[in-house]
């Protein structure tokens, strides 16, 4: 696992979160009139099961996962969410794989947790 070049330090993660909190969160809170969700939790077993689903059903040897920001409608609390969408490759130019289902229904803290 230590060979992953995409790992960052806890300090880098804290800075990313701080940047979000100071540059995005106030604008969203002002627009919505309340604090929006800003953290989402998926269990490792759910993520592993989803990755296995994508691997088993993808039409390409090395699919990717794109993470999108989304928002529920007013009837569902009008809060932010994320969903994972399979892609037909692991490059930034890879097309989404619309033959496979995206993943959603993670958990969000109420109130949201800071990093």
pLDDT tens profile 26-42: 999 999 888 888 899 99
Question: What residue ranges do the domains of the chain occupy?
Answer: 7-36, 38-108
Dihedral sign from CA coordinates of 107, 50, 81, 24: positive
Alpha-carbon distance 104 to 41, whole Å? 10
Q: What is the rounded average pLDDT for all residues in the chain? A: 90
Strand, helix or coil for residue 43: coil
Q: What is the mean pLDDT of residues 61-74?
A: 92
pLDDT of residue 75: 72
Alpha-carbon distance 67 to 51, whole Å? 13
Query: What is the value of pTM for the model shown?
Result: 0.85
Q: What is the pLDDT of residues 84-112, one digit of tens each?
A: 999 999 999 999 999 999 999 877 766 67
């Amino acid at each position: 696992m230590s060979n992953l070049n995409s790992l960052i330090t806890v300090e880098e993660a804290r800075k990313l979160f701080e940047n979000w909190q100071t540059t995005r969160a106030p604008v969203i809170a002002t627009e919505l009139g309340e604090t929006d969700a800003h953290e989402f939790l998926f269990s490792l077993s759910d993520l592993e099961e989803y990755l296995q689903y994508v691997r088993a059903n993808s039409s390409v040897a090395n699919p990717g996962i794109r993470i999108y920001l989304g928002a529920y409608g007013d009837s569902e609390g009008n809060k932010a969410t994320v969903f994972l969408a399979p892609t037909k490759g692991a490059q930034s130019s890879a097309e989404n794989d619309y033959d496979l289902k995206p993943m959603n229904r993670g958990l969000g803290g109420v109130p949201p947790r800071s990093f």
